[in-house]
């Protein structure tokens, strides 16, 4: 199994036999394919694609861990700040 082999889907929206809205970079692959840019180098993603992909990863993290992403960042920042003092 490779890192890229895991797929996560929302149980509430999962439909057997249909393409699923996943919590991974498939969103980016789909955009590249639809824009006829798959496999091309030096492609810049639109900000909308970057933001929506980022949100998918945050949503997946929050569902798996049970903590808000922003809370995790604040905790890490506060710990790093305390160590630096």
Residue 51 domain-assigned (yes or no): yes
Task: Tell me whether residue 5 is in a domain.
Answer: no
**Domain encompassing residue 34:** 21-84
Give residue 46's pLDDT: 96
Q: Is residue 80 part of a domain?
A: yes
Query: Encoding tokens for residue 5?
Result: 């082999």
Who contacts 59 (Cβ-Cβ below 8 Å, separation ≥6)? 23
- Per-residue model confidence as pLDDT tens for the chain (85 residues): 445 556 777 888 888 888 777 777 888 999 999 999 999 999 999 999 999 999 988 888 888 889 888 887 777 666 665 555 6
Number of independent structural domains in the chain: 1
């Amino acid at each position: 199994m490779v890192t890229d082999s895991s797929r996560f889907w929302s149980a509430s929206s999962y439909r057997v036999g249909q393409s699923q809205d996943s919590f991974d970079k498939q969103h980016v692959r789909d955009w590249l394919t639809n824009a006829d840019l798959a496999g091309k180098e030096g492609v810049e993603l639109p900000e909308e694609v970057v933001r929506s992909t980022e949100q998918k990863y945050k949503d997946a993290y929050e569902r798996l861990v049970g903590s808000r992403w922003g809370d995790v960042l604040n905790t890490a920042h506060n710990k790093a700040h305390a160590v630096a003092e």
